[in-house]
Amino acid sequence: MTTSSSTARSNGDARAVRLTIPAKAEYITLVRLALSGLSQLRPLSEETLGDLKLAVTEACSNSVRHAYRDGREGAVQVVYELHKDRLVVEVSDDGEGFTVADDAAAGAGALTEGGLGIAIIQELADELELGPGADGKGSRLRFVKFIQD
């Protein structure tokens, strides 16, 4: 497992934390703990923190379940960017990736593989982006939650 922390500037001060975990379900707890730690830097309501934990758990679970099949080893990268007015979370992997259904009946952003994970994230987040990883391999899920004072 690799973790790193860095400070960045983007429309004001932002704090960024990067976490790389093995693509195994038992490591998702660490992702949730990192989010709890970040909430100490910018207090969040219990409801908002609970929603964010659920969203990041669903995002990581998708990578763990779908990215590395047939016993392949892999990793899941999680980046948290804590801004004054929002939290940005990006979850990515180098696995098989996924395709987004273009079916209006299934709802915007539904996965062809099924499941409710993306729908849950979509409901809890203020913004959601899905697509391939940066180099065209794997998948990338990015969501934003605006934080009110």
Task: Name the domain count of the chain.
Answer: 1
Q: Across-strand partners of 17?
A: 5, 80
- Residue whose entry in the numeric block shows the structure tokens 């940005």: 88
59's CB contacts (< 8 A; 6+ apart) are 89, 91, 117, 121, 141, 143
Q: In the chain, what percentage of residues exceed pLDDT 70? A: 79
CATH of the domain at 26: 3.30.565.10
Return d(Cα 78, Cα 56) in angstroms, integer.
9
Return d(Cα 41, Cα 13) in angstroms, integer.
13
Return d(Cα 112, Cα 6) in angstroms, integer.
36
* Domain that residue 12 falls in: 2-146
Return d(Cα 44, Cα 115) in angstroms, integer.
28
pLDDT digits (tens, 9 = 90+) for 90-102: 999 998 876 554 2
Confidence of residue 12 (pLDDT cuts 50, 70, 90): low
Return d(Cα 85, Cα 62) in angstroms, integer.
27
pLDDT digits (tens, 9 = 90+) for 102-137: 223 334 444 444 568 899 999 999 999 999 988 888
What does the CA dihedral 135, 30, 18, 12 come to, rounded to 10 degrees? Answer: 120
Note the Cα 68 to chain centre separation in Å.
17
Identify the three-state secondary structure at position 112.
coil
Identify the three-state secondary structure at position 15.
strand
